[in-house]
Every structure is written in structure tokens, then in C-alpha cells.
Structure 1
Amino acid sequence: MKKLVSHLLVKYLEDRGVEHIFGLCGHTNIAVLTELEKSSIRFVNVRHEQIASTAADGYARVKNKASVVLSHVGPGLTNAATGVANAALDSIPMVVIAGDIPSHYYGKHPHQEINLHSDAAQVDVYKPFVKRAWRVERPEHIAEILEKAFQLAESGNPGPVLVSVPMDIFSKEVEESTFERVKHHTKKLEKPSIDDVTAKKVVETLVEARNPIIYVGGGVVLANATAELKELVDHLRIPVAHSLMGKGVLPDDHPLTLGMTGFWGTKFINEKTRTADWILGLGTRFAEADSSSWEPEYTFDIPNTKLIHIDIDASEIGRNYPAEMGIVADLKQTLKVINRVAKELYPEGFKNEAVENEIAKQRAEFKENNRQFETDSAFPMQPQRILSELREVLPRDAYITTDVGWNKNGVGQQFPIYTPGSVLTPGGFATMGFGAPAALGAKIAKPDKVVLSLVGDGGFGQNPALLATAKEENIPVIWVIMNNYAFGTIAGLQKAHFGTTLGTLFEIDGESYSPDYAAIAKAYGIEGIKVNSAEEFKPALEKAISLNKPVVIDVPMINNPTPTAGHWNIMDIYSPGKKVHHVTT
């Protein structure tokens, strides 16, 4: 029996368990929207496609499964590209279904075709960052392509894929049997593990090491292996450092959590990883900022430090550091085997009180050194006080999204995360504009949790139209805008190295300027709170949580840089030989 492709597509998504689709209408995808009106799938309507792809990114991180984006041809798909690229560089599974020009008009430059150098080339735009891009050439192919798309997005190193569908194919009929056939294919692939011999070698190497470190990245969360990691740490008592994306993989109050390495890491943490004799790297690519630009005198001294590197993606092993042992496997399955072997070899486990006491002492000293900022009544507020009072008020299992700047760097360095996977941050692409819409997706995925977006005024200003979606869909996110009237991090760098702030400060005739974001929120029909003193912030936050509806809190903040003892060689590019970092503007 023949049915419309648009109908069978929506039915396929329902059968696959898709509950939400993020997107924006266009003349190429309204056939699908029409079918969604009859569906159990909730269409989350947005005002800009970057909001759709970024909200879908946040949703996928929390759901730990592929999200779905529905896009229009040409400018719709290019608008979504930044959010999709961000998901790609953070290994977030996503299936983008995009309308395309009619197949019979390829190369004729119909309305909104991308074809200056290649006909119907919107697929080519995505090829540099998605795992694969398909253009559906015949309606009979779409069922198999969809099945392959979800499988590829969710398997191996996860990531986005693109399925570009000419609009005429959505409106064609195809035999229902083409979709029935793919129902027989497994929806979950079995993942590779390791054998006992390899696990024994790993465990014995770590036990025999003088000062081993476990170094974790976001791949541990993606593999849903945080419980297995904690089990290993609790048994072998090996301290854990993490990348930005590994924040919260082990709770920040665990006695063996060292903290974040690299440029925004502390001297204590960087020195621990630099002087380790063995490092067990789990689900990390040793990115530049986390690794102090890979310069051996700062964070990692590999290969003088020996590395065991385990990742699902073979291309990540040896990308930035040579590995003494390289293991391609799923982290959850692998850690299960390592834990079992470790308990067979050393059933009593180990103690490491000296290191635990050292970590506790360093935490207390860092907190004490920060206390003057956390209790400062200055207004605009100290960023440290904003973070401190957020942590006091928020539930332990609240979800936090960050953007870029103080909110991302400060959270990584000094904001405790207690629930694995509960901090969502743009790591690989460091995309300004990520945090605010990502919170929409996170809240839809976890409606019973408090979800707060910590974002700068530059980041929130990228796409304030997300508030329309929050209002229409009743998505009770709290946005805390750390408003320093600037692209603050870049302003600090530019001032320190070049003596100017052109293009980085928001001013009118030399006076600091900002839109009234609380008033903007109210214009969208959303609760807006403008904080006018340091003492007003904490009560405003408590009120926002109690309201259980969308709330924007606009908090003027002093524009000073995130403190750092780490290294990033962009500083040497700007000011060679001068050891300049950044300054308050």
C-alpha cells in the first residue's frame, strides 16, 4: 500500500521514540509539519534556526540520544549550521532533516537554491562537520537513509548527520513496505569492550605507578560511564583531573576530584598532571585550552609521563599526545571489565589519604582566597559572588548551561557540579550564543529539574527571540545574564596586549550601554528582574526558582577576567616574551 513520504516519515519517527522535534517552517517542509499536527511528537517552534539546532543540542546532551531538527532549504539550513557544528565538535548526536529545492529543478537556481559553484549544494555546506550528509534522490530510499542516519548519529563517536530531502519527495507516495522493512533492524548496536588481559595490564600499570592520574573528558558522560568511573576511583583511590567537557563527571566534592586543567586550571592541578608518571585518559581529545597549548612545561609532559588512552574513536588516540597504550572501546563496557579485574586482583582496594588531604587543603585555600570576592558588596557585582550565591540556592541536581566568557571559564574553575552530565557547555566550538537556547532543550528533556542558563550579555544578545519559544511552549528556564556591557573576555585580552578595546565594549559616547534585558523579557510576556544591588541577587534567584516559569535575571557585573595560573599560547602570539595574560577593563 502506498502512502505519502511525509506521513511515513513522521510515523517512522514516532516508532523510533522521538518525542520532540526542534525547527522552523518553510515552504519546503510544511508537508512534514502538516503530518506532525496529527502526531504525538511535539514540534518546538522557534524564531531562528540557530535556536532550533542549539536547543536540540542541549536536549540530546540531557536525553543521551539523538535529537531531531527540522529545517527549511538554503538560509534555513545555513542559519542552523552553527548550532549543528557546535554539536559536532562536542560529539552530540543529532539528525537534521532539511527540506531542499524540488529535485526536478537542480541547477536552475530555483528559489533559495545554493548553487554558485555546485548545483543544489546545501548538502556540501554541512559536509565538513557532520558525520555524513545524504541527499535523498528517490522516495524509495528515504526509509533506509533515515535508519542509517540515526544509527550513525548515535554510534561510535556520536555526532550530527544531515538528511536533505527535496520538497517534492515529501509529497510523493511510496510503498509502506519500504518503511516496514527497516523496522526489523536493531535500534541499538552492541558496543566494543576489552579482554581481561588488557584490563589486567591497565590495572597493574596504575597500581605500580608512583603517582598516577586519571584524566577524563566529556566522552565519559556520552558513554554513560560516570558510575563505573566512580567505582574505579573509589577502589583504586587514584585522583581525577578533567577537561572542561569533563566537568562534573566525578562530583566536585568527591575527595579525589582535582579539578579542571589547562589555561583556566590552577597551578596545583596543572602541576599534578604535569608530574604524573602515568595518566589514564578516558574519553578526551586533550584539547588545546585544557592542555596549555600542548606545551610540556605547563600541564602535560607526555611522553615523559606515560599515557594510556581509551576512546571509542581511534582517531582521537594519538591526535595530540603519543600513547603508550591505545585502546579503542566503549568506556562503559571497558570500565566494567577494568573494575571487575581490579577487584579480582586487589579485593581490598587501596587508600590514598595523603593525596586526599592534599586536595582538601588546596580546596580550602582556594575557597579562602576567593572569599573576599564572594562576599564583596560591590555593584556591579563580582562574578565570584554571582557564582557562589547561585551554588547556595540551586538544587544539587540542577542543570546548568553556560555560554562563553566568565560564565564558562568561571564555572569550569570554581563552580561545583555534583550531578554528572548536569553542566552543558560549548567545548569544541566555544560558540557564543549556545547557553541560552541550549537551556530550552535541557528543560524540555528534564522538565522535573531546575534548569538555569548562565550567560553573558553578549551571548544572550545573540538570539533573544528564544524568549518567544519559552513563552509559547511554557518552558520554565531561568536565564541569569552576567552583564558586563562587553564581550568581556576579549576586551580584557585586547586591552592587555594592544591597549585598546575597539569592538569589544558596548558604549554610547563613551558611556557603558546595555539593553534592558528584564524589560525585553517582559515584552515577550516573561518575568524579567533587573538586579540593582548585590543584595538583591540571591532573593531574585530564589523567587525565580519558586515561580516555575521562564524568568530573566539581568545582573550588572564587574568586567574582570577569570583568574588563571595556566597557559594559552595566544598570549605569546600577542606579546611574545612578555608573559602578559589579560586585564580588567
Structure 2
Amino acid sequence: MTEHQVSPGRTTRRLTVAQAVVEFLRQQHSERDGQVTRLVPGCFGIFGHGNVAGLGQALLQSHQQDPAAMPYWLARNEQGMVHAAIGYARMTNRLSTLACTASVGPGSTNMLTGAALASINRLPVLLLPSDTFATRPADPVLQQLEYPVGPDVTVNDAFRPLSRFFDRVDRPEQLPSALLGAMRILTDPAETGAATICLPQDVQAEAYDWPVSLFERRVWRVARPAPDPASLADVLELVRTATRPLIVAGGGVIYSDATDALREFVDATGIPVADTQAGKGSLPHDHPAALGSVGATGTTAANAVARSADLIIGVGTRYTDFTTASGTGLGHAQTRFVNINVTASDAVKQTGLAVVGDARLILDALRERLEGWRASADYRAEYSGLAHAWAGVVDAATHLDHRPVPAQSAIIGAVNEAAEPGDVVVGAAGSLPGDLHKLWRARLPRTYHVEYGYSCMGYEIAGGLGVKMAAPDREVFVLVGDGSYLMMAQELVTAVAEQVKLIVVLVDNHGFGSIGALSESLGSQRFGTQYRYRDAAAGGLTGEVLPTDLAANAASLGARVLCADTIPELREALQEARAHVGGPVVIRVPADPSVPAPSSDAWWEVPVAEVSELDSTRAARAAYEVSKRQQRT
């Protein structure tokens, strides 16, 4: 590790490739609006023969030099550690993320789901999967894929379509360009996602003389690209001639720190706001212009206004099928679209007017140029009335006295009441994201963290771990169904080991409640969605409910466990959990999956069998065809 002057003005340091990776990451920072932060302030990992002597040795050496320079956290599942890093990145507004290293073969491919989730949600994460020998001293080595027509192909090539940046370092000389390319993607608001650098196990341990400039402090500026002036002028004309405009606020509003700009724009113009899953919290739920969620999991207020809008201004949204209600929910044949987005490919969706640039800059510019223009009093009164009516529906659903087993909507209400304004709720898959989108009352940005770009079962606890690591002063409530819990609960052990406090509300409905309801609506009669014994006579999974004890499982992992069978008991358990000091608390509460949340009056397309011998399927197909005729492409 000593420095050597190899020629006048050129000094090198001799390090292994793995040591160079760690030393480089220690010096990387991001900056936006004058705020400088560590870009990759730590590393999750699980060691095996592919990385224990490479990155493992390098991280140990770094720890002995300075434990705070590159902390290492031992995860329990490779997919889980990527989810935790993603939660961390989202909570830091994409200005910081974590690295994840895994061993060769299954250890590395276990991170594939996390890579897909990061890229789909436009969230930065650095993946360092180990690879087989670059020198091929003895083929095949343990865990190597033999691909006869491409000997250079390994299982890690599966990361290519899932990553926004991919490289494999077969020689030390390739490392600097790979590292710089990955950092560029991690700090590019339009292109960010998973950045993957594959590191063959022999290359990790190979020494090289690196230029010392590689390890100098580097600050990556996260840009705020300005919009094209002509596009702004076109937007102004569309707004001034609109009578029923609506803003659809996506995650880009929050990532751009544009929530204040949005509120000021709305206060000045009176244009109402509906939000997507990623954009929830862009405007406080009780703001006079807040209509709540839009689309298939939206509010009746937002969806009614969206269907009749003559101008829809999408800010930082990808227009997923849940947001558009599968092409049936936003506007009508004459509706115009304005798409404000830092990503050009998103800005051209819905055949709208594309305004490519930073959301905060654009909203501020529009507000200044629209001074004096305001939506009509009649329109403001109309959408205010719709919002007030929906608020009453939420009040009723979140205080539903359903016995003997609580309704999920009432469970959400109890958690929402227990949460303080800055606390964070985390969710991901099943029926909870849809119910949370409709019913959760977010008061501040970055307090609603529901992963719904990939809707990945098992994200919840691991993602919550990352959120809490990024915001240790906030309470983090993880709402997870029993199906997702059984997919991936292992990072509870990581939270126990690191004494990271999470409040995990484990909603137990004995199966896949969301898919069960969807199955029933599609005529498939909840087939294969419940946790039950197989009925010996009928042959199906229709016997008694399984005696699975998820509370005992959580306790065996080291978490403190509380059980609540009623809503009053849940409220008491939530108070006890808030007072707890230390690691995670799991509150197990049953829910009746047959009690739905209030309807959104919107559609989500899932094709139904065109022919069937089942009456239930034929009826569902008839309803599907009615909705399909309303779809616009």
C-alpha cells in the first residue's frame, strides 16, 4: 500500500483490485444545491469463496484502518440486502446509496430481483457480484455455468438487462473506467438504477499499481437540467386555455425536492393534485387541492376529476398501468397531456407535450409565468366537495368495527393514528399497497415508502431496514402480509444484530389475500391462494387453516413480539412498540381478507379466460370485455 513514483509527476499505490474498489468508494460524494454527502457510505455483504479473500479482505483492512470509512453490514439474504440498500437510497432522495457484494453463483444471482427492482423504480444501488475465474485455470470451477457457444458467459450476464450500467472487470486496468461509469449512473437522475460491476474472484485478489489520482476525493454533482424555453411557452398556452386541469404527481416530485414548489404552484393556480404510489406525500393529505391517489388504487375524488380533466399535467410520473387505470382512467378523447420529467422516455408517454428537465425548476418557472391565472371558483368548489366526501369514506373504513377479526382498513387506520408526521410507513406487495394508497394520510414527503414499481413480495422488512438506517431518528412502520413475510423475513436478524428498531405490523390473513380477491374477481374462486391443509376427499387446498405461528417465528429470529387480536389491542401494542428501545418489534394481528377497502371506481386490466366451463369465469369475462371497450391506447 506504499506509494511509488514511477515517473516525474506520476505516483502509484499498489493495491489489490478489491482494495482499490473499497479505497475508491471511500472518496466518492454527491452534491446537489450545495449539499455534499457520501455517495456510497457503506457495504452490505454475504461472503463465500468468491469474495471472502477479495472484497472481504479489503473491507476488513479498511475497517482496521478506520471503522467509519466503509462500514460493513452482514445481511442474511442477498436479495434482502439489495432491498435494504434501495430503501436507504430512496430515503436519502437518491443522493446516497449502499454497495452490495455477494459470492459466486447463487449468492450473486440472488441479487437479480433486487437489481430489477432498483432499475424499475429508478433508484440507485451498487452491486458487486463475484464471478468465476477470469484466467480459467480449471474449467468448470464450482458454481460455473458451462455455456458451450460462449465460454465467457457466466450467470452474472443475467444482470445485463436488469442494470442501468453493467461491466465485468477481467483485468485490473479495466477497473477505473468501470467504477467511473457506475458512479455516473448512480448520480444521474434520468438514468439511475442498478449499477453492476462483476468481479472475478481471481481478479479481486490481483495486485496492481494504481495512479493515486483514482483515490482522490471526488464530488459528483446531481444536476438540475433546465427545460427548453419553447416547451415552457407551449405549457403556458395549454394551461391558460384549460378549464379542468389536473396535476398527477409522481415520485419525481419528491426526488427533485420539488414538494414546496408544487405546493406554491397549486396555491397560486388552484389546480388540484392527484398522486401516484411513488408520489404520495408530494402534497399534504389535508391540503385544499389534494385529491389523494389516482388510478386503480386511487380515490373516487381523484379518479372522478381525472376522467373529466381536459388537461393532465404529469410531474415525475412513469404513467404505469395502475396510475392510468390500464388506459381507462386519465381524461377522455380530447384531453391534452403535459409531461414534466427529467427522463425523456417518460416525458413522451401519453403522446403528450414533453417538457424534459428538473421538476422543481419547471414548477417554479410555470408559477412565475402564470401569475394572475387561477382555476375557476366552480371547479375548485367541485373538486373540494369530492375530496371532502372521500375523506368521510376513509374515516369510516379506517374505523370499521368488524368482528371477530379486524378489517385490514382498520389496521391501517390504527397504524396511521399511531404514526407522527415525520414517521415512515413501508409496504410493497399484496393487498396492503392498494389499501395504503387509498387510505394512508401522508403529511410530509418521504413518509410513505411503498415499493410498487416491481411490487416485490419480501421487500418490506429489508426495505424498512434500509429506511431506518438512513433515517435513524424516525419511527419506521413496516406493514407486511403473511405471504410476503414468509417470502423474506431474514433481515429481521440483521435488524436484531445491529439493534435497528423497526415496528413491523404483521397482518395475518392465512394466505395471499390480495391475489385471493383478484382471483375471485376474475372468476377463479380464490383457487390456490390460501394457507390450508389439502382436503383428502376433494384433493384441493381447502382443508383447515394451517397452524403456522408467525409470531413464534419472529420471536425465534430475535425480535420482540407482541400479539393483538383486536383494534384496541393493536393500538396498545403500537404504543408499547413506540416506547421500546433497541431492535425490531413485531406486532402480529389477524385480518379478515373478505372485507375489502372502499372501491376506487377504477379498473386494472388482468385478462380473463376467453372461454370457460365455469360460470364464474364466464361472468368475469363479460365484465372484462365491458371495461376493455373503454380502454384508450
TM-score normalised over the length of structure 2: 0.85
Which ranges in structure 1 are unaligned for 5 or more consecutive residues? none
Q: Does residue 19 of the first structure (1) align with residue 41 of the second (2)?
A: yes
Q: Which residues of 2 match residues 404-553 of structure 1 at below 5 A?
A: 404-508=429-533, 510-513=543-546, 515-549=548-582, 550-553=584-587
Q: Is 2:578 the counterpart of 1:578?
A: no
Change in Cα spacing, 1:60 to 1:356, as seen in structure 2 (3 Å) is: same
Equivalence map 1:70-85=2 (5 Å): 70-85=101-116
1:339 aligns with 2:375: no
Q: Is 1:3 equivalent to 2:15 in the alignment?
A: yes
How much identity, in percent, do the aligned residues show? Answer: 26
One-letter amino acid matched to 2:369 = V
Q: Quick check: 1:361 aligned with 2:385?
A: yes
Take 1:121 and 1:485, find their aligned partners in 2: how far apart are those partners?
Answer: 40
Q: Is the 8 A contact 1:101 1:167 kept in 2?
A: yes
Per the alignment, do residues 106 and 248 of structure 1 end up closer, same or farther by CA in structure 2, a change over 3 Å counting?
farther
The code of the aligned residue for 2:77 comes to H
Instruction: Find the structure with the greater CA-based Rg.
Output: 2
Q: Relative to structure 1, is the Cα distance of residues 353 and 528 closer, same or farther in structure 2, using a 3 angstrom cutoff?
A: farther
2:608 equivalent to 1:562 = no
Count of residues in correspondence between the two structures: 571
Q: Give 1:457 deviation, angstroms.
A: 0.6
Matched, 1:36 2:59: yes
Matches within 5 A, 1:158-557: 158-177=192-211, 180-181=213-214, 183=216, 187-295=220-328, 299-301=329-331, 304-319=334-349, 321-323=350-352, 325-342=353-370, 346=371, 350=374, 354-373=378-397, 374-508=399-533, 510-513=543-546, 515-549=548-582, 550-557=584-591
CA distances 1:408-461 after superposition (whole Å, capped 9, x unpaired)? 001101111111122222222111111121000000000000111111110111
SS of the residue corresponding to residue 98 of structure 1 reads strand
Q: CA RMSD in A?
A: 2.3
Deviations 1:219-258 (A, max 9, x none): 2222232222222112222101122222112221211111
Whole-angstrom distance in 2 between the partners of 1:318 and 1:201: 15
Choose which of 97, 112, 120 in structure 1 pairs with 2:143. 112
Task: Find the partner of 2:88 among 25, 34, 59.
Answer: 59
* Equivalent residue, structure 1, for 2:122: 91
Change (3 A) 1:25 1:354: farther
The change in CA–CA distance for 1:302 and 1:25 in structure 2 (over 3 A counts) is: farther
**Secondary structure of 2:162 counterpart:** coil
Structure 1 residues 53, 577: CA separation in 2 closer, same or farther (over 3 Å shift)?
Answer: same
For the 8 Å contact 1:131–1:153, the answer to whether it is kept is no
Do the aligned partners of residues 26 and 352 (structure 1) sit closer, same or farther apart at CA in structure 2, a change above 3 Å counting? farther
Q: Residue 142 of structure 2 aligns to which amino acid in structure 1? A: H
Bigger mean CA deviation after superposition, 63-72 or 533-542: 63-72
Partners in 1 of 2:180 and 2:524 — Cα distance?
55
**Distance between the aligned counterparts of 1:312 and 1:382, measured in 2?**
40
Alpha-carbon distance in structure 2 between the residues aligned to 1:107 and 1:82: 30
Matched-pair contact (CA < 8 Å) for 2:409–2:597? no
Query: Do the aligned partners of residues 106 and 188 (structure 1) sit closer, same or farther apart at CA in structure 2, a change above 3 Å counting?
Result: farther
Q: Secondary structure at the match of 1:158?
A: coil
Would you say the 8 A contact 2:132–2:154 is kept in 1? Answer: no
Q: Tell me, what secondary structure is at the counterpart of 1:498?
A: coil
* Structure 2: runs of 5+ lacking an equivalent: 1-12, 29-37, 536-542, 610-616, 627-633
Q: Quote how far apart the aligned CAs of 1:124 are.
A: 1.8
In the TM superposition, what whole-angstrom CA distance separates every residue of 1:154-183 from its partner, at most 9, and x where no partner exists? 202321111001111221122231x51474
TM-aligned CA distance change 1:352 to 1:140, over 3 Å: same
SS state at 2:243 partner: coil
CA–CA distance in structure 2, aligned partners of residues 184 and 303 of structure 1: 54
Q: Distance in 2 between matches of 1:267 and 1:410?
A: 13
